[in-house]
Structure 1
């Protein structure tokens, strides 16, 4: 694969001179860990459904990564080839990435919730040579799905299946075990040459990750070791994380959250990570206490579940120091409840696949910052809020959020025309935000999610935040629907809490009691059992817009 990561070279000299690009790769970090702390716990992977627990020290992890790396070359994988991976948070995920890095291959992580439509696009666009899937996860047969897709994918040479067995119950010939982990490939005469001749530089592409699809067709985001490391290092410093801090990662590693802070960060810190493949709050509490977890990062529903379960079980999580919450606004009541019940610091953050975490609140910030803002920039990150003409706006005014960061991606694969980055390196995030006098931002919506009702912009995020504060509301999203007279009107789509209900009249009365301007109050209410979302908890508003548009067409017909 030829990677058109055109956004990297122009900023290399400045990023190196400023100390943000360290010219280190995960190979350097793993080799250092083996040299300095080979017997330290590195990875504990827990399968919730089976109870299986697998543990690795740094030496064991490096040894097996080398074995898998040589095995991949036996499948024809070489430098800059794409290895696609559709696995939950299993140890095979981490080890496959480390193996790819040994031989200069590029990992394309794909969410385990994806099915034929998403996979056929990503595997064709990325020209994956190998794809690795589970045989079965949560009752779904991934092998059968890939067997059906393979004839449509001319670049795909191998489908490797974790847990596939033959008629005798032994690892099948195409299994991950038979191809990559059982043969002692690292003892082959050519193993050392294989493991060293194509080691990537810190500017080579190391990850191809497709955007999560909150706005439609995904785009392939290209990252180098320099871009991801320049985010992880200041992130860990701000959160005061070190080698002694065990990390729990229950957010999918196929999402940037899990990949950067559950796979890469622990190795950079030389710390211990605990992987949980299916989120279950009771199991999470058990792991936090058993493994003395100090830090975790996930979206708001995870924090809600953890807080409610700890409270209901009259238990505690004394080792947990920090819960970083991202992906959706954190309701005020939840921060207050979590602080009281869990005794942890709640940190708010905002970021994208294109640049990792961009902003976070600080550990010494008052709690109010976690629910009133999305944080301030990490070191190496510049932000500005501009109007439609590109003019920078003063504090307090909402506009387009632009980011110039050491961690900005290298571009979208095969789509440089969509890179959204100007000659000065400013990336258009597609988000709307306002910035306060202290440099803290608040995301106010997506540029595509703006609702313009009769020429008046509706403050979508503010209305959603008010809905979240209603005692009956568990999830909320405000989206437009077409209107002949006004152009657009707003509809509130909500999921109510168990045993609760909400009517349109009750919503309007509540909004009026909150002193909301009449033109900002949603003119429809739709109560649903669930909202379409990505695995990281981001609501897919484009699907809600499509649903409302279709409902409007049916009514008009």
Structure 2
């Protein structure tokens, strides 16, 4: 388990740097020994509050040393970390608090100009289970003076008391609510064993070692930051470099000043680094998740960052299942989501559950020892997700080529069915990424009385070029050899794509937007 790995690092190298927190004016650095002492004091306070083994505790903190100390403390008393993304607001926070039945909620006084205590006061009448609220003072981030909003006891808990509540491999280690691309949050429960299985496979496959420095620009409340940032660093006894607010200047500090060598993050992070006038250099490996890396971006990134760029696929439920290896051929690394990790299985099946041969698109199913255990309060959803022979249906459409490389082609719910003709959404988006005036693109279905659905294109314009019109986009696709039947039939320009924390575009928001616009235009006729 990760707890055992941390203990071994504390014993062997107590003065090794565990955390570099770049969210403060002067970066905070904690050794493993200091992290251990703070986590013990936090564990003592949680026990004083009566937090019991197996009890979820909710916290909505930005990525920083306090988040990590609290998480480790919860593990030490066998409680269940239930982190919320800082971007969530009253509606989502109230839902998670009620669903998790957390009696405790920890929030900052302010982050990115948002008043969290006011939000808590607004939602509190609707959350009767909430007993204790702790407010983190964001103006006092020095570990020597901060008490994490009252969550640090003056003295650590006794070894005997911690031993009495020590977590087992079957103890729940994480409760994450999926923001997802469908809009319906589900409480995903993982055990220490399932997460440890993911970490073992990940670190072996990619050859990560304690000498690596793990950069974490993703939110710690998302699986990418939580498991493949924070937990990876603990598992190998490395340094975690945490960045709470995204900007390339802070990323440069992480890479060039603190020596970050590895990162797993969404493709927009990679694009921002690559397009910067002075791309930071020093990374050894960038694992891009959320979507396959467009070939053009991959080529630019490899040259600009001077590091290996590989794609991967994973989910909150299953953790990482496929990833490119640094030794793989470039033509396989770029434009795919990698190949299956040792000890895991993937397959493509048709609507009747029959396994399809290489090169055929179908439903993407997986089997992995890192699989979650259940959806909180909805075990029936969990059971419905599995085939009779134990494969989990991801909800994605995909192709596996003859060499075993995966390429996600879309979500089942994202398919555009134009009069019985399926539009190759991902292929169109990949082509449009090459258009100089288009910074981001997403194709969604819009309802049509005659054909059932037509393709609507949403774009974010590259501010260095004039915004293209629909005819411009069509001419571009024609020049790329795309059949006319697949061309988008409406164009919407927006300032920013709605995305999950992992970088996936939330297409249900775009679909709802176009439905509403069409409804208004019909009413105005």
Equivalent in the alignment of 1:38:
14
Give the 5 Å matches for 1:14-29: 24=1, 26-29=2-5
**Is contact 1:481-1:489 (8 Å) kept?**
yes
1:459 aligns with 2:424: yes
1:122 aligns with 2:96: yes
**Is contact 2:361-2:398 (8 Å) kept?**
yes
Give the SS at the match of 2:433: helix
Equivalent in the alignment of 2:317:
354
1:286 aligns with 2:260: no
Equivalent in the alignment of 2:352:
389
**Is contact 1:346-1:367 (8 Å) kept?**
no
1:105 aligns with 2:68: no
Give the 5 Å matches for 1:190-205: 191-205=158-172
Structure 1 residues 452 and 164 mapped into 2: Cα distance closer, same or farther (>3 Å)? closer
Equivalent in the alignment of 2:203:
236
Q: 1:94 aligns with which of 58, 68, 71?
A: 68
Structure 1 residues 178 and 480 mapped into 2: Cα distance closer, same or farther (>3 Å)? closer
Equivalent in the alignment of 1:179:
150
Equivalent in the alignment of 2:514:
548
Aligned equivalents of 1:119, 1:499: Cα separation in 2: 38
Give the SS at the match of 2:6: helix
Q: Residues 301-360 of structure 1, C-alpha deviation per residue, up to 9 Å, x if partnerless?
A: 111111222xx13x651x311111111232222111111111100010111100111111
1:215 aligns with 2:182: yes
Equivalent in the alignment of 1:20:
none
Structure 1 residues 455 and 81 mapped into 2: Cα distance closer, same or farther (>3 Å)? same
Aligned length: 517
Aligned equivalents of 1:482, 1:431: Cα separation in 2: 22
Aligned equivalents of 1:34, 1:316: Cα separation in 2: 32
Give the 5 Å matches for 1:280-359: 280-309=247-276, 312-313=277-278, 316-317=280-281, 319-359=282-322
Give the 5 Å matches for 1:381-420: 381-419=344-382, 420=385
Aligned equivalents of 1:209, 1:178: Cα separation in 2: 23
Give the SS at the match of 2:18: strand
**Is contact 1:113-1:535 (8 Å) kept?**
no
TM-score normalised to the size of structure 1? 0.90
Give the SS at the match of 1:43: strand
**Segment of structure 1 superposing worse, 534-543 or 347-356:** 534-543
Give the SS at the match of 2:334: helix
Equivalent in the alignment of 1:59:
33
**Is contact 1:335-1:367 (8 Å) kept?**
no
Shift of 1:72: 0.8
1:498 aligns with 2:463: yes
Any gaps of 5 or more consecutive residues in structure 2? none
Q: 1:365 aligns with which of 321, 328, 340?
A: 328
1:448 aligns with 2:418: no
Give the SS at the match of 2:509: helix
Equivalent in the alignment of 1:10:
none
**Is contact 2:291-2:337 (8 Å) kept?**
no
TM-score normalised to the size of structure 2? 0.96
Aligned equivalents of 1:89, 1:70: Cα separation in 2: 22
Equivalent in the alignment of 2:483:
517
1:69 aligns with 2:40: no
Aligned equivalents of 1:170, 1:397: Cα separation in 2: 53
**Is contact 1:81-1:106 (8 Å) kept?**
yes
**Is contact 1:476-1:495 (8 Å) kept?**
yes
**Segment of structure 1 superposing worse, 322-331 or 441-450:** 322-331
Give the 5 Å matches for 1:253-272: 253-272=220-239
Equivalent in the alignment of 2:394:
429
Aligned equivalents of 2:391, 2:58: Cα separation in 1: 30
Any gaps of 5 or more consecutive residues in structure 1? 1-23
Equivalent in the alignment of 1:3:
none
Q: Residues 346-390 of structure 1, C-alpha deviation per residue, up to 9 Å, x if partnerless?
A: 010111100111111111112222322111111221111011111
